[in-house]
């Protein structure tokens, strides 16, 4: 059984599946992209960074039905025991949640029989999801460097936070947009809304991705052994510090910096694992941060990413971001991305 839903005032979704990781050979799905100066001599391979796009199946057999892809990075970060920092997106490819994503982060100590990781967010059907994942090593073939990991993922969604709530939710947004027009005119890149009695902020701005030249804000820092030949640039890790403006023109008011990393994690399509912090530099939220993570498939006209936290005015924040490519100049390697972000905090509104 892959999915089981139980309603108890909120939706609890249980997923049982197997992540099949092939480390070497023509069908490899995991690649090393970076190492520290002591990785080769460390008993725990400290500092090793791997990128993976693993097949996830309904049963332990690699050739059983694929239900998802397990995509992300592992970073060895313990000098004494074999433990990794996990950044994992389960992109579901079949069943009732096809096209949705569950995002998992945490510390994974492989010596333990059972490990627990945090579900920090999701997209589409699992928007605003929280929960946990229990994983264990199902099997390992040292000769072929092939392993199977069993995952049981528990995700909770309050009914009011589900992606397709009642029409009242949409009507509330419309009426609030009307009542906040005056405030929006003064600061068009953010609005204060009240949704389901929770204080919600709508942020709307443009991210300027300058990929080359003297004013570049994005740099490549690591690659896998197949990045150069992969049609998706698999394993490429970029670090960026992009200017964020209120309007599409790069010369318009700067309201934030978009800072973080992208890792190409899909062997078939152009998709990246995002770790993104919007550091706000203007207006009433100056000095606050909104943290966005998840899987970003660039070929889609619109992409959804989960907001998993923040600081300052956005402490304990949850929500989601909708992004799309506003423009791209291939000749100058310069692109503009449009972001609309709904950030909900624990503060109530009336």
The CATH number of residue 37's host domain is 2.40.480.10
If one compares 276 and 187, the residue with the highest pLDDT of the two is 276
Residue 275 in this model has a pLDDT that exceeds 80: yes
If one compares 171 and 154, the residue with the highest pLDDT of the two is 154
Apex 211 CA angle, 206 and 213, nearest 5: 120
Residue 183 in this model has a pLDDT that exceeds 50: no
Question: Are 324 and 337 in contact, with CB atoms under 8 Å apart?
Answer: yes
Q: Are residues 193 and 328 in the same domain?
A: yes
Q: What is the DSSP letter of 213?
A: S
- Please return the burial class of 186, using the count of CB atoms within 10 Å of its CB with bins 0-12, 13-18 and 19+: exposed
Average pLDDT score over the chain: 82
Chain-centre distance for alpha carbon 24: 26
Residue 327 in this model has a pLDDT that exceeds 90: yes
Name the strand (E) or helix (H) holding 297: strand 289-297
Q: Are residues 325 and 252 in the same domain?
A: yes
Residue 20 in this model has a pLDDT that exceeds 80: no
Residue 60 is predicted with a pLDDT of 82
Residue 300 in this model has a pLDDT that exceeds 90: yes
Q: Are residues 58 and 192 in the same domain?
A: no
Q: Are residues 199 and 324 in the same domain?
A: yes
Q: Are residues 79 and 184 in the same domain?
A: no
Residue 181 is predicted with a pLDDT of 31
Structural domain for 14, as ranges: 3-160
Q: Are residues 140 and 36 in the same domain?
A: yes
Lowest mean pLDDT among 72-76, 169-173, 253-257, 282-286: 169-173
Tokens 């394993």 map to which residue?
A: 235
Q: Are residues 110 and 178 in the same domain?
A: no
Lowest mean pLDDT among 77-81, 102-106, 290-294: 77-81
Close Cβ partners of 242 (under 8 Å, ≥ 6 residues apart) = 207, 208, 209, 210, 217, 218, 257, 258, 259
Tokens 């990785």 map to which residue?
A: 39
Query: Nearest to residue 234, comparing CAs of 5, 43, 72?
Result: 72
Tokens 């949640």 map to which residue?
A: 97
Query: Nearest to residue 73, comparing CAs of 263, 295, 240?
Result: 263
CATH number for the domain spanning 190: value is: 2.40.480
Q: Are residues 97 and 176 in the same domain?
A: no
Question: Are 76 and 47 in contact, with CB atoms under 8 Å apart?
Answer: yes
Residue 117 is predicted with a pLDDT of 85
CA atoms of 107 and 214, how far apart (whole Å): 38
Close Cβ partners of 301 (under 8 Å, ≥ 6 residues apart) = 324
Residue 347 is predicted with a pLDDT of 66
Residue 188 in this model has a pLDDT that exceeds 70: no
Residue 199 is predicted with a pLDDT of 79
Residue 345 in this model has a pLDDT that exceeds 70: yes
Best mean pLDDT range from 74-83, 166-175, 317-326: 317-326
CA atoms of 19 and 88, how far apart (whole Å): 11
Last residue of a domain, one of 93, 127, 160: 160
Residue 8 in this model has a pLDDT that exceeds 60: no
Last residue of a domain, one of 143, 160, 177: 160
If one compares 44 and 151, the residue with the highest pLDDT of the two is 44
Q: Are residues 103 and 225 in the same domain?
A: no
Residue 236 in this model has a pLDDT that exceeds 60: yes
Last residue of a domain, one of 139, 160, 181: 160
If one compares 139 and 56, the residue with the highest pLDDT of the two is 56
Q: What is the DSSP letter of 175?
A: H
Tokens 């804000």 map to which residue?
A: 217
Using 50, 70 and 90 to split pLDDT, how confident is the model at 33? very high
**Number of independent structural domains in the chain:** 2
Residue 164 in this model has a pLDDT that exceeds 50: no
- For the segment 79-94, the average pLDDT, to the nearest whole number, is 89
Residue 57 in this model has a pLDDT that exceeds 50: yes
Residue 59 is predicted with a pLDDT of 84
Query: Nearest to residue 121, comparing CAs of 347, 291, 300?
Result: 291
pTM of the model: 0.79
Q: Are residues 151 and 171 in the same domain?
A: no
Q: Are residues 73 and 109 in the same domain?
A: yes
CA atoms of 165 and 54, how far apart (whole Å): 32
Apex 265 CA angle, 157 and 74, nearest 5: 80
Residue 226 in this model has a pLDDT that exceeds 90: yes
Stated length of the chain? 350
pLDDT digit string, tens, across residues 90-135 = 999 998 889 999 999 888 887 788 888 888 999 998 988 888 888 8
Cα→Cα distances 161→18, 114, 138, Å = 28, 30, 34
Residue 191 is predicted with a pLDDT of 72
Residue 46 is predicted with a pLDDT of 92
CA atoms of 83 and 117, how far apart (whole Å): 12
Q: In DSSP terms, which residues pair with 5 in a beta bridge?
A: 13
Residue 15 is predicted with a pLDDT of 62
Task: State percent of the chain over pLDDT 90.
Answer: 49
CA atoms of 277 and 273, how far apart (whole Å): 13
Task: Give the other-Cβ count within 10 Å of 313's Cβ.
Answer: 19
Q: Are residues 128 and 186 in the same domain?
A: no
């Amino acid at each position: 059984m892959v999915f089981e839903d139980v309603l108890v005032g909120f939706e609890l979704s249980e997923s049982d599946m197997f992540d099949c990781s092939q480390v070497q050979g023509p069908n490899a799905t995991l690649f090393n992209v970076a190492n520290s100066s002591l990785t080769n001599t460390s008993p725990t391979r400290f500092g090793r960074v791997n990128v993976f796009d693993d097949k996830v199946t309904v049963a332990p057999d690699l050739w059983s039905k694929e239900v998802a892809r397990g995509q992300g990075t592992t970073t060895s970060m313990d000098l004494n025991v074999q433990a990794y920092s996990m950044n994992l997106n389960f992109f579901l490819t079949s069943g009732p949640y096809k096209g949705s994503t569950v995002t998992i982060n945490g510390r994974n100590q492989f010596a333990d029989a059972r490990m627990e990781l945090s579900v920090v967010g999701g997209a589409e059907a699992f928007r605003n999801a929280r929960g946990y994942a229990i994983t264990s090593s199902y099997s390992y073939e040292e000769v072929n460097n092939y392993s199977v990991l069993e995952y049981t993922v528990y995700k909770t969604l309050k009914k009011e936070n589900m992606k397709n709530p009642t029409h009242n939710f949409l009507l509330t947004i419309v009426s609030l947009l009307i009542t906040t027009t005056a405030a929006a005119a003064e600061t068009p890149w953010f609005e204060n809304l009240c949704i389901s009695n929770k204080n919600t902020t709508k942020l709307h701005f443009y991210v300027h991705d300058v990929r080359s030249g003297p004013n570049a804000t994005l740099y490549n820092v690591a690659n896998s052994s197949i990045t150069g030949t992969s049609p998706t640039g698999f394993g490429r890790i970029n670090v960026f510090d992009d200017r964020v403006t209120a309007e599409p023109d790069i010369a318009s008011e700067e309201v934030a910096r978009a800072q973080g990393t992208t890792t190409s994690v899909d062997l078939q399509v152009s998709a990246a694992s995002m770790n993104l912090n919007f550091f706000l530099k203007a207006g009433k939220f100056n000095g606050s941060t909104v943290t966005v993570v998840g899987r970003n498939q660039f070929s889609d006209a619109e992409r959804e990413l989960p907001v998993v936290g923040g600081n300052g005015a956005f402490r304990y924040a949850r929500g989601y971001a909708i992004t799309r490519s506003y423009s791209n100049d291939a000749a100058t390697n310069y692109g503009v991305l449009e972001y609309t972000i709904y950030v909900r905090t624990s503060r109530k509104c009336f």
